[in-house]
Amino acid sequence: MNLLKTKSYINGQWVSGKSRFAVTNPYDHSLVAEVEDMSREQCRTAIQAAHDAFKIWKKYSAAEKATILKKWYDLQMEHAETLAQLLTLEQGKPLTEALGEIKYGASFVEWFAEEARRVYGDTIPGHKRNIRITTIKQPVGVVAAITPWNFPSAMITRKVAPALAAGCTVVIKPPELTPLSALALAELADQAGFPPGVINIVVSSQASEIGKEMCANPLVRKLSFTGSTRVGKILMKQSVDTVKKVSMELGGNAPFIVFDDADIDAAVQGAIASKYRNAGQTCVCTNRLFVQAGIHDAFLAKYTQAVKDLAIGNGMEEGINIGPMIEEKAVVSVEKVVKDALDKGGKLVTGGQRVGEEDSLLFAPTIIADAQRGMQVFSNEIFGPITPIFKFKTEEEVIELANDTPYGLAAYFYGKDYAKIWRVAEALEYGMVGINTGMISTTVAPFGGIKESGFGREGSKYGMDDYLEIKYMCWGGVE
C-alpha cells in the first residue's frame, strides 16, 4: 500500500489544489514531496462534507463505530514501520522515537474504539411524584482539529479517535511542515471503511485562512487545537461569534525539581528522557531544571556526562538519540536564548551551538549552569535541546519558582519523603505532575493543562467529554 500521498482527502476523494508547496527533510533539506495546497473555499467544502456525513455517522451503533475504528488501529499497527519512516523523513526525530509515536498514536484509536460502547446516560430522581428525569449524551457535531508538527501522527489520533467514537465527523488541518503523516492516516482510514466525509484532511500553507474558516463556519461545532498559547488565544477570539465548544492544549514551561533525597541516577535518566525527547520540541518537556543545593554538584556531573553521551544526527540512522530541529527559525530561537543566558551570567557546561554545516538544523544538546530568574530560559518556552539548571535551597523557594509562570501544563519532581511528595504534588499549579518519572504521556490518563496552557483533556475516560453534549429529558404525567 502506497502511504505517500500528496493530495488532500475530502469527502472520500483525493483532491488537488491550484498550487503546491514543498515538504523537506529537516536533516539534509532534501525534497520529500510536493503537496497540493488547499484554499479556504476547499476547507469550506470539507466542512460541508463533514456536516452531511454527520447525519449518517451519528446513527451508527457503538458496535459499528468500534469495528471500523478497530480496523483503523489494526492497519496503523500493520504499517507502523512505514508510517514511522515517513514521519522521520518529514519531521526529523529518530526512527525509534517515530515508531514509538506511531504505536502511541494508534493506542488512542484502540482505546476509543472500546470507549464508544461506554457513552452512558443517567436516570435522576424526579422533583415531583409524576416526573421522571433522564439524561443522554449525543455527539456535538462537526469537529475541526488543528494539529502541530512535533507529533504529526499522535496529535491527530488523540483528537480524532474520541471524536469519531462519540459519533462526530472531523476536518483536520495538519501543519504545513509535516502533512504527510496526516495524509497517510487518511489513506488507512479510507481502507478501514469510514464513510465518505467522516474524516477529512485539508493540507494548506495558508494556516491563518484555514483557521478563520474553521472558527467562523457555523457548521463546525467544536474546535480542538494544539499549539502555541498566542495562536490559541487568536482561535478562541475567532470562535466567539459562533459560540463553539473549544479545547486548547497550549504552551508549557515545565519545571523539573530534584530534591536532596532523590535517587540521583534515576533523576538524571528521568530528566534526559523528559528534556531531550524530540530534540526538546515537546510541550511537556522539561524547561527549567531545579536542583537542591545539597546534591547540585553531584547531579550536574552525572547529568553532564549523560548529555554528552547522546548521539545527534540523521534520525534514519541507528543509534541516534537526537535529530534535527524542525526549521531554521527554531534554531535561531534557541541560539538567542542561549546567548541571553550567557550574557546574564549563565555558565555553558556543554553544547550551545549547531552541529555540522552553517545551514544545519542540528543543535547540540546543551546545559547552562548558574541559571537565574531574569533569563529568558526561565520565562520562555524553550522548545529546543537546552537545559538551564537552577540551584535552590528550600521546598518553599522551589515551589514559588516553579509556579512563577502563566503556564500550567506539566511538572516533574524527584524525591523520597512521602509527606513532601504529597505537599509538592498538591502545590504545583499544573494539570499533570510526574513524580519520580520523566515520562507521563499515556492513553489511559487525562492529558491537559491549566492557566494559559489551556483547557480540556485528551485521552482516558475523560477524553470523550469534549465531543459530547448532555441532553436532559423531563418526563411528565407519569402517574
Residue recorded with cell 457503538: 62
- 368: nearest Cα among 291, 269, 258, 260: 291
Q: Which residues pair with 170 in a beta bridge?
A: 143, 199
The residues near 165 (Cβ < 8 Å, ≥ 6 apart) are 65, 66, 69, 112, 113, 115, 116, 119, 464
Helix, strand, coil percent values for the chain (each to nearest 5): 40, 25, 35
If one counts every other C-beta atom within 10 angstroms of the C-beta of residue 23, the result is: 20
Q: Which residues pair with 34 in a beta bridge?
A: 22
Pair type for strands 386-392 and 286-292 = parallel
- Residue pair 430/406 in contact by the 8 Å Cβ criterion: no
Is 168 marked active-site? no
Query: All 3 cell numbers of residue 334?
Result: 534557541
Q: Which residues pair with 292 in a beta bridge?
A: 392
Q: Which of 283, 285, 381, 452 is catalytic?
A: 283
Q: How far apart are CA 364 and CA 222, in angstroms?
A: 40
Q: How far apart are CA 189 and CA 424, in angstroms?
A: 44
Q: Which of 249, 381, 452, 458 is catalytic?
A: 249
Q: Mapping DSSP to helix (H, G, I), strand (E, B) and coil, where does residue 460 land?
A: coil
If one counts every other C-beta atom within 10 angstroms of the C-beta of residue 235, the result is: 20
Is 283 marked active-site? yes
- Residue pair 75/191 in contact by the 8 Å Cβ criterion: yes
Query: All 3 cell numbers of residue 69?
Result: 475504528
Q: Mapping DSSP to helix (H, G, I), strand (E, B) and coil, where does residue 441 land?
A: coil
What residues act catalytically?
Answer: 249, 283
